Amino acid sequence: MMQPASQGIAAAPPAAGRPAVCLPQGVALEPLLAELRRLSWGAADILRAYGRGVQPPYGFPLALSVDDGGEGPVSAADLAVNQWLLDGVAAAFPSAAWTLLSEETAKEQIRAGVPLDAEWLWILDPLDGTKDFLQGTGEYAVHLALLQRGEPVLGVVLLPELEELWFGLVGAGAEAPGLAWRENRAGERFAPALSPRRALGELVLVASRNHRDQRLEQLLQALALGDTRAVGSVGGKVATILRGDADLYISLSGKSAPKDWDMAAPEAVLRAAGGAFSHADGRPLSYNDGDVRQAGCLIASHGPSHRLLCEAAAVALATIDPGFVV
């Protein structure tokens, strides 16, 4: 465990071994992390209030109308947290040379086939795991990711009900490893604890309750993994890998696919912790490329067994669904 802030250490990553994170001109890492903490815990308070049907903080109303969604706590929560995050980042860094994109603003910002003209891009998901939010499982998350030329540099995954705030500073290869940690509201920090499991037969899969089809079941049978855990939201799934409770997560797109805002922040934190996140053929995930869908067979893992997992999945899918682009 990292030394907690309550023992006299500021709630920021240790200076020793900290990766040199490239940021836009005029933006320093420590003020940025401080603002991300403030915004994240504020988002947690907003979401928990909507989830419990009580008055949200910061002046947000109990219900908001949505042209294409009706009224209710989910629509209100999405829009309130979206506004809180976008306004907060813009106000804290008014001259920063970055663009902000969220799930809620994508329809207005994105044209099919046309990447956004932005070297620096924030990709936000104010509420990942809407079904779990509705069902009251508590397994929902908030995602924030900063990208430079489509490559994740910094990721934040907030789990409001667990009061966990994960940060990831992505390194630039073996000579510049990344750094990931989680914080609680008290500012105590804890290092990731990726599991020591290696053989496919002992790996623990974390899967969705709401997005499973026959192809995925066939793939899992072919991989012959160990135990399976069901957790909502991509951020929540990746957090189970970071804690060592699970070893891998597989996203297998069908009629629909996850989007950039589902994957960017969890990928950043997992990679910063030493894990891996790629397509089954080894290709890296691609962001801001004119298509926000993250289609194919995507595998997130604790790292050491990643190549073996990808190879086995690619071989299995060639039989299960010939022609499927992994």
Question: Distance (Å, rounded) from C-alpha 23 to C-alpha 170?
Answer: 12
Residue among 165, 122, 164, 155 nearest 21 (CA): 155
Question: Distance (Å, rounded) from C-alpha 182 to C-alpha 198?
Answer: 24
pLDDT score of 321? 95
> How high is the mean pLDDT of the chain?
90
Question: Distance (Å, rounded) from C-alpha 172 to C-alpha 148?
Answer: 12
Question: Distance (Å, rounded) from C-alpha 55 to C-alpha 52?
Answer: 9
Last residue of a domain, one of 190, 212, 247: 190
Whether 138 and 60 map to the same domain: the answer is: yes
Q: Which domain holds residue 20?
A: 5-190
pLDDT score of 2? 52
Question: Distance (Å, rounded) from C-alpha 197 to C-alpha 239?
Answer: 17
pLDDT tens for 8-25 read 223 334 444 556 688 999
In the predicted structure, residue 294 carries a pLDDT above the cut 60: yes
pLDDT score of 163? 97
Whether 179 and 289 map to the same domain: the answer is: no
DSSP lists the bridge partners of residue 178 as none
Question: Is residue 135 one of the residues assigned to a domain?
Answer: yes
User: What is the number of structural domains in the chain?
Assistant: 2
Decide which of 304 and 75 is more confident: 304
pLDDT tens for 198-225 read 999 999 999 987 666 899 999 999 999 9
pLDDT tens for 235-289 read 999 999 999 999 999 999 988 899 999 999 999 999 999 999 999 999 999 999 9
pLDDT tens for 126-169 read 999 988 898 889 999 999 999 999 999 999 999 999 999 999 99
pLDDT score of 173? 65
Contact 11, 185 (CB under 8 A): no
